[in-house]
Amino acid sequence: KMGIQSSTQSNDRGIQESRRAGKDVSNHSSKSSQSDTSNPEDHALPSSLRSPCDSFNCGGGTDDNPGYACSSVQGMRQTMEDEHEVAHSICQLQNGETVHFFGVFDGHGGRECAEFLKNNITARVRSCLQSHHLVEDALKEAFSNVDNQFLRYSDENNIAEVCVSVLSCLISGNCPHSSITATFLLSLRARLLLSV
């Protein structure tokens, strides 16, 4: 599971809670942990019988505007399948608002889709926002384009598993007022490629 909170206040609260729990709090890293600290014997067991992984990562940017905090916990999965992306000031809207991008990519059944989104969605959102008058239209086009890109990528690379990611994208301007311009939820289509 992974989450990002955007605001200086929630960032401070998240960092304080992590310090109280004895966790190392460092500045944001764009790499999610892929470590596996669960019991190696658990890998043959169904997830409901595995020992939980105690891998916990958190980060954030207290000097960034807007500030943010993020954390991830691997849980019962054999590997971390989630990713996140934080990109400040990706572009300016025609009304002068600065756009900041925060994405959480929740992989289901594999990392490929989450990694693909992390590596491709920000640039596509930036490009579409710069060429559209309406934010909603720009985001719909960006998500549709990346959805189709991933389907081609998964076909070309024989990704033989269900690979779904959910993207929560907050775009805000005029920080520190943090007015949210748009919130979208995108679910990339599930793909199951069976090899015979």
What are the tens digits of pLDDT across the range 70-80?
Answer: 777 777 777 77
Domain boundaries, the chain: 1-80, 81-196
Stronger pLDDT, 4 or 14, i.e. the higher one: 4
d(CA 9, CA 102): 16
- Check: CB of residue 85 under 8 Å from CB of residue 100: no
Q: What is the pLDDT of residue 195?
A: 31
Residue 14 near residue 60 (C-beta atoms within 8 A): yes
- What is the DSSP-derived secondary structure letter of residue 106? -
Long-range contacts of 23-28 (CB under 8 A, 24+ apart): 23/56, 23/58, 25/58, 25/59, 25/60, 26/59, 27/59, 27/60, 27/61, 28/59, 28/60, 28/61, 28/64, 28/68, 28/70, 28/86
Q: What percent of the chain has pLDDT over 70?
A: 46
Mean pLDDT value across the chain: 64
Question: pLDDT tens digit string along 65-101?
Answer: 777 777 777 777 777 778 878 888 888 888 777 888 8
Confidence of residue 119 (pLDDT cuts 50, 70, 90): very high
CA–CA separation, 127 vs 142, rounded Å?
Answer: 8
Tell me which residue of 141, 166, 163, 143 sits closest to 153, measured CA to CA: 163
Report whether 85 contacts 30 (CB < 8 A).
yes
pLDDT digits (tens, 9 = 90+) for 9-57: 444 444 444 444 444 444 333 333 334 444 545 555 455 555 556 565 6
Structure tokens belonging to residue 112: 């490929």
Backbone torsion region of residue 136, taken as left when φ is above 0, otherwise alpha when ψ lies between -120 and 50, otherwise beta = alpha
Is the pLDDT assigned to residue 121 strictly greater than 90? no
- H/E stretch holding 150 reads helix 135-156
3-state secondary structure of 57: strand
Q: What is the arithmetic mean of pLDDT over 153-169?
A: 63
pLDDT over 90 (residue 189): no
What percent of the chain has a predicted confidence (pLDDT) above 90? 4
E strand or H helix at 8? helix 8-20
CATH architecture assignment, domain 81-196:
4-Layer Sandwich (3.60)
Inter-CA distances, 139 with 9, 11, 12, 67, 89, Å:
28, 26, 30, 23, 16
Residue scoring higher pLDDT (164 or 33):
164
Highest mean predicted confidence (pLDDT) among 8-22, 139-153, 155-169: 139-153
